[in-house]
């Protein structure tokens, strides 16, 4: 079968899991040519972590960013409220005229490229407005058109927007095929938006590592969380659980938090709580490659309030880490209670789940093996790429 010419479209401002999946497409799908469309303000730590293949062209697009306009307005909040309210009002009134301008911009941009299959790699829905307009623009060309949704869809936040949002959802529903990364993502898309078609669900996958977790030769139990620091990922819950364990008398524990700050001031809140409670052994490392930490940490903690799939859970499982997680993003498909980890609802339950491993360290090895088995059966990159390749090839 003749290989196709692909277009992968990304709008991002903070590097995350959806960039990792896009990079997996670049490195593993079969194609003749691939055009990678990135917004000029994108964070490229993940997507361009390594050199692009020779048959991949990077196309930097511009357009008018709704996200950056909103960020500009928020920068005046509390400093100059007159400017803040003026910019917020401007954003409300200019939103859809700007979307129309961006739609026309992408029509003219895509005319320059011969693309057989287009994948709009959207963080959420509506998510990146560049993503929605690009998907609509490409639908006026001849080719397969996929809109990939990674995060949970939200309802229109302004009631006067509802008729326009209904029309945009209806149009996208008619002119592309939606793909969701989990059943929960699909459920939210159908419940919160005006989508009537049946989205395809394809779980994200990761590479099977050459070697798994390598326990350090000491008696410490190392805890790990990977994710942007903020309210959504809710790392304060982990700090509370860590504090509970210290108050119970457990001293042989260490915690690593990996990720850039998503909510301004959140890192300061975490540090303040750490200092006030004299919590030794808590390390906030910033954005780094997590695999080094997967290899020497013992337990993976996820405290998110909302997730769609949580790729980091699967990465941790692939490295042989038991997982303690909140019940978000199809958690029960990845984590089986008392088999490869525990599903919890608050900081107290998290600390009690960690305590089970502290009291019985052999449980770590048992759950490690079980987690690897679950990963291999459902969440390898080969399984994911196989499903996307069939869509690309039209099977």
Q: Calculate the CA dihedral of residues 85, 87, 91, 92 and round it to 10 degrees.
A: 20
Q: How far apart are CA 54 and CA 39, in angstroms?
A: 21
Q: What sign does the CA torsion over 39, 168, 148, 5 have? A: negative
Domains of the chain: 5-205+381-393 (3.40.50.2000), 221-378 (3.40.50.2000)
- Taking only the tens of pLDDT, the chain with its 395 residues reads 578 999 999 998 877 788 999 999 999 999 999 999 999 988 898 999 999 999 999 999 998 888 888 888 888 888 888 888 888 888 888 999 999 999 999 999 999 999 999 999 988 899 889 999 999 999 999 899 999 999 999 999 888 899 999 999 999 999 999 999 999 999 999 999 999 999 999 999 999 886 777 766 788 999 999 999 999 999 999 999 999 999 999 999 999 999 999 998 999 999 999 999 999 999 999 888 899 999 999 999 999 999 888 999 999 999 999 999 999 989 999 999 999 999 999 999 999 999 999 999 999 999 999 999 999 999 999 999 999 999 999 87
Cα three-residue angle 126-327-333, rounded to 5 degrees: 90
This prediction has a pTM of 0.88
Helix axes 347-359, 362-378, angle to 10 degrees: 110
Separation of alpha carbons 20 and 292, rounded Å: 17
Look at residues 394, 218, 162, 212 and name the one whose alpha carbon lies nearest to residue 316. 212
Give the integer Cα–Cα distance in Å for 20 and 28: 12
Phi, psi of 277 (to 5 degrees): -100, 5
For residue 226, with 0-12 CB atoms within 10 Å meaning exposed, 13-18 middle and 19 or more buried, which class applies?
Answer: buried
Report helix, strand or coil for 212. coil
Cβ partners under 8 Å of residue 98, min gap 6: 64, 66, 69, 129
């Amino acid at each position: 079968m003749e290989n196709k010419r692909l277009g992968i479209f990304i709008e991002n401002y903070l590097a995350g899991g959806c960039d990792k999946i896009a990079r997996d497409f670049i490195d593993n799908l079969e194609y003749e040519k691939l055009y990678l469309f990135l917004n000029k303000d994108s964070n490229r730590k993940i997507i361009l972590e390594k050199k692009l293949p020779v048959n991949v062209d990077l196309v930097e697009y511009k357009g008018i960013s709704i996200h950056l306009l909103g960020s500009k307005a928020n920068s005046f909040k509390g400093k100059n409220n007159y400017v803040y309210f003026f910019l917020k009002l401007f954003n409300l009134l200019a939103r859809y005229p700007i979307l129309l301008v961006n739609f026309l911009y992408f029509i003219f941009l895509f005319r320059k490229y011969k693309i057989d299959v287009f994948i709009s790699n959207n963080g959420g829905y509506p998510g990146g407005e560049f993503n929605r307009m690009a998907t609509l623009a490409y639908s006026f060309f001849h080719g397969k058109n996929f809109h990939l949704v990674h995060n949970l869809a939200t309802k229109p936040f302004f009631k006067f927007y509802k008729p326009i949002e209904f029309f945009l959802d209806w149009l996208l529903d008619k002119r592309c095929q939606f793909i969701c990364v989990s059943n929960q993502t699909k459920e939210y898309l159908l419940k919160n938006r005006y989508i009537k078609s049946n989205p395809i669900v394809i779980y994200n996958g990761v590479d099977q590592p050459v070697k798994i977790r390598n326990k350090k030769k000491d008696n410490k139990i190392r805890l790990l969380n990977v994710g942007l620091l903020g309210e959504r990922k809710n790392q304060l819950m982990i700090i509370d659980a860590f504090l509970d364990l210290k108050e119970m008398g457990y001293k042989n524990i260490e915690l690593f938090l990996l990720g850039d700050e998503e909510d301004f001031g959140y890192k300061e809140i975490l540090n303040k709580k750490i200092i006030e409670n004299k919590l030794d052994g808590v390390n906030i490392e910033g954005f780094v490659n997590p695999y080094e930490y997967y290899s020497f940490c013992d337990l993976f903690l996820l405290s998110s309030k909302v997730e769609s799939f949580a790729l980091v859970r699967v990465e941790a499982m692939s490295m042989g880490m038991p997982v303690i997680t909140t019940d978000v993003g199809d958690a029960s498909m990845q984590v089986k209670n008392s088999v490869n980890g525990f599903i919890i609802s608050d900081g107290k339950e998290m600390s009690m789940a960690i305590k089970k491993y502290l009291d019985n360290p052999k449980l770590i090895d048992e759950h490690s093996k079980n987690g690897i088995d679950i990963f291999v059966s459902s969440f390898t990159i080969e399984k994911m790429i196989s499903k996307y390749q069939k869509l690309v090839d039209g099977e």
